[in-house]
């Protein structure tokens, strides 16, 4: 399995064109996904955060205009959002923006994962000018990202799972293989649910 890291190009990378979005939206609706939080997805996000030892983890479904965190682990220990308790916030007393279930498509890195249909490893987003300018870097303080697409049996990338940190992280090949394996596991759960298995 190969991994093609994004190459710094000295400019911001706009949110990629997503030609599969209409088909993805139809598939998500058929599966009943992407409209409401689900305890099973919150539990999966909690597990992701525990495995990666990170403050944030998400199960993210993406439509034409927004991202929806059907599963969310945030630093306050709930899937409901809360205010992130970062080391920087503790040090300077500043409050960070609420983490919400919805995010615009031009925020974050998951839309890139869905369009590329490949895992994305950003050990330090500041090393990549096209990603460093993303609003989540300044507004939430995100410094590292590891995400993988959720590609179902129809070949549609429904969304992603991801883990993020407010500090640079050396994810390495082990992190990449772990996130890809967990994405495959969640896709199997979604497919069992579709077939009435759970």
* List of domains in the chain: 21-194 (3.30.450.40)
pLDDT score of 15:
73
pLDDT score of 8:
43
Q: What are the residue ranges of helices labelled H in the chain?
A: 21-31, 39-52, 87-92, 110-116, 129-132, 135-139, 172-194
Give the separation between CA 18 and CA 67, rounded to whole angstroms.
13
> pTM of the prediction?
0.81
Could you say which residues of the chain have pLDDT below 50?
A: 1-12, 80-99
Phi/psi of residue 75, nearest 5 degrees: -60, -20
Name residue, tokens 């199997």. Answer: 188
Strand order in the sheet with 120-122: 102-104, 66-73, 56-62, 157-165, 144-151, 120-122
């Amino acid at each position: 399995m190969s991994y093609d890291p994004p190459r710094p190009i000295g400019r911001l990378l706009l949110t990629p064109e997503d030609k599969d979005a209409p088909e993805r939206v139809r598939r998500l609706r058929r599966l009943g996904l992407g409209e409401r939080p689900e305890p099973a997805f919150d539990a999966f996000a909690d597990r992701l955060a525990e495995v990666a030892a990170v403050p944030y983890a998400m199960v993210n479904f993406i439509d034409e205009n927004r991202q929806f965190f059907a599963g969310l682990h945030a630093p306050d220990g709930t899937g409901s959002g809360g205010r992130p308790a970062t080391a920087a916030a503790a040090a300077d007393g500043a409050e960070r923006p609420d983490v919400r279930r919805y995010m615009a498509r031009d925020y974050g890195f998951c839309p890139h994962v869905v369009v590329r249909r490949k895992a994305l490893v950003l050990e330090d987003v500041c090393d990549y000018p096209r990603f460093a300018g993303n609003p989540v870097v300044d507004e939430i303080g995100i410094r590292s990202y590891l995400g993988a697409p959720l590609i179902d049996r129809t070949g549609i990338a429904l969304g992603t799972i991801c883990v993020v940190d407010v500090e640079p992280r050396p994810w390495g090949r082990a992190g990449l293989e772990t996130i890809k394996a967990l994405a495959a596991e969640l896709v199997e759960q979604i497919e069992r649910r579709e077939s009435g298995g759970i």
